Amino acid sequence: SSELTQDPAVSVALGQTVTITCQGDSLRSYYASWYQQKPGQAPVLIIHGKNNRPSGIPDRFSGSSSRNTASLTITGAQAEDETDYYCSSRDSSGDHVLFGGGTKLTVL
């Protein structure tokens, strides 16, 4: 398969923990990268590799993977976390980059 599948929308209560998932065959081989995109702005890399955060990304963001699923977890979601999240991976051939369809996170 050459697709990454994300739930279109997820919600979480303020201060609670939420997990956004990404499924795809390529994730059996590749660690995913995760991007956050706020309205009208360019995407920002927030998680890469096994569970690495670029400088400046809060530690409430973490990543994990199991079999064909990559997960982004936000521990103690904040109002400013309400936005779109995208996973990304190489495809199984290694020659193409895939993005998931994106998950819109609502913080209640």
Partner 1 sequence: EVQLLESGGGLLQPGGSLRLSCAASGFTFSTYAMSWVRQAPGKGLEWVSTISVSGDKTYYADSVKGRFTISRDTSKNTLYLQMNRLRAEDTALYYCAKTQLGYCSGGYCYSDLLDYWGQGTLVTVSS
- Cα-to-chain-centroid distance, residue 36: 8
CB-nearer residue toward partner 1: 15 or 94: 94
CB-nearer residue toward partner 1: 23 or 88: 88
Find the shortest distance in angstroms from Cβ 56 to partner 1: 11
21 close to 100: Cβ distance less than 8 angstroms: no
Find the shortest distance in angstroms from Cβ 44 to partner 1: 7
- Cα-to-chain-centroid distance, residue 49: 12
Find the shortest distance in angstroms from Cβ 15 to partner 1: 28
CB-nearer residue toward partner 1: 5 or 75: 5
Bridging pattern class, strands 18-23 and 84-90: unpaired
User: Tokens at residue 38, please?
Assistant: 């706020």
42 close to 86: Cβ distance less than 8 angstroms: no
Positions touching partner 1 (CB under 8 A) are 29-33, 35, 37, 41-45, 48-50, 54, 84, 86, 88-90, 94-102
